[in-house]
Amino acid sequence: MHRHMALVMMAMLYMVEHREQFSKAFPLLSCYDIQVLLANTLPNAQYDEQTILLQLEHWHGKRRAATESALRKQNRQRRKTARAT
């Protein structure tokens, strides 16, 4: 059990460090993105680097759109609540 927890903590540290390292180039980089990058760039890679970067841009576009949509929804709710009071 302790070995598993140590490995999980090491993996999380690795991901946090890489998210910080690449935060300017990829501000929406998630742990899942890093997992996919590792899975596809370690030996037996299925895709080339350009394909992976295009996929990351696609995911980040979708994530950005979802975030912006949630913010718009929150703002509408706040305005509606402010008018009611």
Specify the residue for token string 């890679």.
Answer: 45
Q: What is the pLDDT of residue 63?
A: 95
pLDDT (tens digit per residue) in 37-70: 888 777 766 778 888 889 999 999 999 999 999 9
Model pTM? 0.55
Alpha-carbon distance of 61 to 10, in angstroms, equals: 29
Is the separation of the CB atoms in 71 and 77 below 8 Å? no
Alpha-carbon distance of 57 to 65, in angstroms, equals: 12
pLDDT (tens digit per residue) in 1-24: 688 899 889 988 998 999 999 889
* Both structure tokens of 78: 């706040």
The sign of the dihedral angle between the CA atoms of 8, 10, 11, 17 is: positive
The amino acid present at 19, given as its one-letter code, is: R
Q: What is the pLDDT of residue 43?
A: 75
Q: What is the pLDDT of residue 44?
A: 65
